[in-house]
Structure 1
Amino acid sequence: MAPTTASFDQVGYWSPNTASVDWCENNYVVSYYIAEFWNTISSLFIILLGELGLYLCPTKEKRFKVTFRTITVVGIGSTLFHGTLRHKMQLLDELPMIYAATALAFICIENKHGAQGRWLPISLATWLFLTTIFVSITGGKIQFYTFQGSFGILQLIIIYYVTVLHRQQKTIISIRGGQNDSSWLITRAIGVYFFAVTIWLIDLHLCEFVNGVGPQSVLKWNPQLHAWWHVFSISGVYFSTLLIAFQHYVAKGLQPSVYFWKGFAPALTLDPHAQQKAAKLH
Structure 2
Amino acid sequence: MAPAADREGYWGPPTSTLEWCEENYAVSYYIAEFWNTVSNLIFILPPLYGAIQTYKDGLEKRYLAAYLCLTAVGLGSWCFHMTLKYEMQLLDELPMIYSCCVFVYCLYECFKYKNTVNYPLLFLLITYSFVVSIVYLNLKEPVFHQVMYGTLVSIIVLRSVYIVLWVYPWLRGLGYTSLTVFLMGFFLWNVDNIFCDKLRALREKMPPVVGAVTQFHAWWHILTGLGSYLHILLSLYTRTLFLKHRPKVKFVFGIWPVLL
Task: Confirm or deny a common fold (TM above 0.5).
Answer: yes
- Quick check: 1:101–1:154 contact (8 Å CA) kept in 2? yes
Q: Does 1:150 align with 2:148?
A: yes
Unaligned residue ranges in structure 1 (runs of 5+): 172-179, 270-282
SS in 2 for 1:256: coil
* Residues 169 and 247, structure 1, Cα contact 8 Å, conserved in 2: no
Q: Contact conserved, 2:164 with 2:172, CA < 8 A, in 1?
A: yes
* Structure 1 segment 117-266 matched on structure 2, within 5 A: 117-139=118-140, 142=141, 144-170=142-168, 180=170, 182-212=171-201, 221=211, 223-266=214-257
| Equivalent residue, structure 2, for 1:175 | none
Q: Match for residue 110 of structure 1?
A: 109
When residues 126 and 224 of structure 1 are mapped into structure 2, their CA distance, relative to the original with a 3 A threshold, is same
Quote the offset at 1:22 in angstroms: 0.5
- CA contact 1:212–1:219 (8 Å) conserved in 2: no
Aligned 8 A contact 2:248 2:259 in 1: yes
Which stretch has the larger CA shift, 144-153 or 49-58?
49-58
User: Are 1:87 and 2:86 matched, yes or no?
Assistant: yes
The C-alpha deviation readout for 1:191-237, integer Å capped at 9, x for no partner, is 111111111110112111212369xx897845111111111110011
Q: Calculate the TM-score normalised by the size of structure 1.
A: 0.82
CA distances 1:160-190 after superposition (whole Å, capped 9, x unpaired): 001101122237xxxxxxxx4x122112101
In the alignment, the residues of structure 2 paired with residue 249 and residue 113 of structure 1 have an alpha-carbon distance, to the nearest angstrom, of 11
Residue in 2 aligned with 1:276? none
Q: Deviations over 1:39-87 (max 9, x none)?
A: 1111122111220221233443110111101111111111100001111
Following TM superposition, by how much is the alpha carbon of 1:117 offset from its aligned partner in structure 2, in angstroms?
A: 3.2
Q: What are structure 2's unaligned runs of at least 5 residues?
A: none
Call closer, same or farther: CA 1:157–1:113 in 2, change over 3 Å: farther
Deviations along 1:81-106, one digit per CA (max 9) or x if unpaired, are: 00011111000011111111110111
Q: Which protein has the larger Cα radius of gyration, Structure 1 or Structure 2? A: 1
Q: Deviations over 1:94-146 (max 9, x none)?
A: 1111111110111122226776731111121111111111222332xx2x011
Quickly say closer, same or farther: Cα 1:170–1:120, change in 2 above 3 A. Answer: closer
Q: Distance in 2 between matches of 1:56 and 1:191?
A: 26
- State how far apart, in whole Å, the 2-side matches of 1:76 and 1:82 are: 10
The answer to whether the 8 Å contact 1:24/1:203 transfers is: yes
